[in-house]
Amino acid sequence: MNSRNQLAVGKGALGQSVYRIEVSPAADRDLVKLKGRIRMQDFKRLRGAVRSLAENPRPRGVRKIRGTEKSYRIRVGSYRVVYDVYDSHNLVLILQVARRSETTYRQLP
């Protein structure tokens, strides 16, 4: 995936608006690192989940990130995708893609 990776805005199968997907530079670096380290099948599944956010930015299993206004996370296997949704602009901005580990949700003291 490239930085500024985008999908066109249009209408989905059910007539709903399709969101444009943009990938932040940090998330793009995450994806490049992961592509070389994980099985291609897992990477394709992760990429498919990110692309599906264009049709439904709040899919089943999505979690709102507390303390934020527009941030959500989805789980794709052992990986987490953190993103912001801007409904007024039909935009989903991918912020981070990372493998979940013991330190993923550790609170700072």
Domain membership flag for residue 104? no
Domain membership flag for residue 105? no
CA atoms within 13 Å, Cβ hemisphere of 45: 12
Dig out the tokens for 82 from the structure.
């953190």
In CATH, what number is assigned to the domain containing residue 31?
3.30.2310.20
Domain membership flag for residue 12? no
Domain membership flag for residue 2? no
Dig out the tokens for 80 from the structure.
């987490």
Query: What domain range includes position 90?
Result: 20-99
pLDDT of residue 36: 85
Domain membership flag for residue 73? yes
Q: Can you give the pTM of this predicted structure?
A: 0.77
∠ Cα 52 5 83 (to 5°): 55
| pLDDT per 10-residue tile (average), the chain, 109 residues | 44 65 94 89 92 94 92 92 95 92 58
Question: Measuring CA to CA, which residue among 105, 94, 96, 93 is closest to residue 30?
Answer: 96
Domain membership flag for residue 4? no
